[in-house]
């Protein structure tokens, strides 16, 4: 079993899933994986919210993982992969864990059950059952504004004692709750923020890293915020953060990942900005705004190419 607790820190990228004409765009996927494998990314999340995971079939999930792992291996780096999973049935989730047990991943990112709003006791049993069943470690995903139920800190702390639960992606939307969790968590339980706009604050508060859609753009600058803070250079980290903070708002102006896919398409990293319904592509107004920002941030040589 992967020692995910040691790997679960730094800057993780929730990779978008490229589509073309309704199908998984494997050519663009290979290009994305090669590109980001060459940048200071500490891990990949596949098929989570940013990767439109709920729109993917099991066979597409397997191809997504296999292709990404192959491209990472070709880069001669080892970059861990988490597979995003979600569902409202514990039994069905266990079936999915079985189906993916032999895939080349390092763990799972699993959100709370959506829609049915279980109690804290139900959440504890749900995640404990999954952790007992899974062949790979789990990272919990606490995002109550999407799932309609939040994981309380007492529940999180109980789950943190499970040997097969390595950490969590924190989108609780309460800095107070996050600080309390960071203060009380057991040694080795990793907390990564998933709130792009709170990246700098979360690292200052003691988070181990972040999972950031915005880091598809200006990846080195987002990584530098983390590195400079770890080195004790708070002023330098603040300056780097000021240079990218606006991106964390712009790329979420409309439902994600449509704005990011438009940016990646215009930048030549994917061949289409296509998303799957009920997602729709960026509006004409936002597309024009994004294009202006791409032009402003592009190096002169790229702009003249």
* Mean confidence (pLDDT) of the chain: 95
Q: DSSP assignment, residue 215?
A: G
Model confidence at 263: pLDDT above 70: yes
- Specify if 302 maps to a domain: no
Q: Please compute the mean of the pLDDT values over residues 82-110 and round it to a whole number.
A: 97
- Specify if 30 maps to a domain: yes
CB atoms within 10 A of CB 132: 11
Number of domains in the chain: 1
Angstrom CA distances, 89 to 55, 107, 191, 206, stand at 17, 19, 25, 33
- Specify if 210 maps to a domain: yes
- Specify if 62 maps to a domain: yes
3-state secondary structure of 222: helix
Contacts of 261 (CB under 8 A, 6+ apart): 16, 18, 270, 273, 274, 275, 281, 282
- Specify if 113 maps to a domain: yes
Q: Which residues constitute the domain of residue 38? A: 4-231
Model confidence at 95: pLDDT above 80: yes
- Specify if 265 maps to a domain: no
Q: Please compute the mean of the pLDDT values over residues 213-220 and round it to a whole number.
A: 98
CB atoms within 10 A of CB 263: 27
Quick one: pLDDT at residue 298? 82
Model confidence at 232: pLDDT above 70: yes
Quick one: pLDDT at residue 85? 96
Q: How far is it, in rounded angstroms, from Cα 156 to Cα 185?
A: 9
Query: Is residue 53 a contact partner of residue 85, using CB atoms and an 8 Å limit?
Result: yes
What percentage of the chain carries pLDDT values higher than 90?
96
Ranges 38-42, 196-200, 300-304: which has the least confidence: 300-304
Task: Please provide residue 33's backbone torsions phi and psi, each rounded to the nearest 5 degrees.
Answer: -65, -40
- Specify if 45 maps to a domain: yes
Q: In this structure, what CATH number is given to the domain that contains residue 47?
A: 3.20.20.70
Q: Please compute the mean of the pLDDT values over residues 228-233 and round it to a whole number.
A: 96
Structure-token match 């079939």, residue found: 57
What is the set of active-site residues? 141, 169
E strands in the chain: 10-14, 19-20, 23-24, 43-46, 81-85, 107-111, 138-142, 165-170, 190-193, 209-211
The pLDDT tens digits for 278-295 are 999 999 999 999 999 999
- Specify if 240 maps to a domain: no
Quick one: pLDDT at residue 211? 98
For residue 275, name the pLDDT band (cuts at 50, 70, 90).
very high
Q: How far is it, in rounded angstroms, from Cα 167 to Cα 183?
A: 14
Quick one: pLDDT at residue 302? 41
- Torsion region of 114: left, alpha or beta (phi above 0 gives left; psi -120 to 50 gives alpha): beta
**Residue 246 has which token pair?**
């606006």
């Amino acid at each position: 079993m992967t020692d995910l607790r040691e790997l679960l820190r730094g800057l993780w990228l929730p990779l978008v899933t490229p589509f073309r004409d309704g199908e998984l765009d494997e050519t663009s996927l290979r290009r994305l994986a090669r590109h980001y494998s060459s940048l200071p990314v500490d891990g990949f999340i596949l098929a989570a919210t940013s990767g439109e995971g709920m729109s993917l079939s099991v066979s597409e999930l397997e191809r997504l993982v296999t292709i990404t792992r192959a491209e990472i291996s070709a880069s001669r780096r080892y970059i861990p992969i988490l597979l995003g999973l979600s569902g409202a049935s514990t039994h069905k989730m266990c079936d999915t864990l079985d189906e993916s047990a032999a895939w080349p991943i390092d763990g799972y990112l699993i959100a709370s059950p959506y829609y049915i709003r279980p109690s804290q006791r139900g959440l504890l049993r749900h995640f404990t059952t999954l952790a007992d069943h899974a062949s790979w470690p789990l990272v919990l995903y606490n995002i109550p504004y999407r799932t309609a139920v939040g994981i309380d800190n007492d529940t999180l702390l109980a789950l943190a004692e499970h040997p097969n639960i390595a950490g969590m992606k924190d989108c609780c939307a309460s800095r107070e709750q996050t600080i309390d969790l960071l203060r009380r968590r057991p040694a080795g339980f990793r907390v990564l923020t998933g709130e792009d706009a709170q990246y700098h604050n979360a690292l200052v508060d003691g988070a181990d890293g972040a999972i950031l859609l915005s880091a598809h753009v200006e990846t080195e600058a987002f990584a530098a915020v983390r590195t400079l803070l770890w080195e004790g250079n708070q002023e330098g980290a603040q300056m780097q953060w000021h240079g990218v903070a606006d991106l964390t708002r712009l790329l979420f102006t409309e439902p994600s990942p449509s704005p990011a896919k438009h940016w990646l398409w215009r930048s030549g990293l994917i061949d289409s900005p296509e998303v799957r319904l009920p997602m729709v592509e960026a509006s004409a107004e936002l597309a024009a705004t994004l294009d202006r920002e791409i032009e402003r941030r592009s190096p002169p040589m790229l702009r003249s190419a």
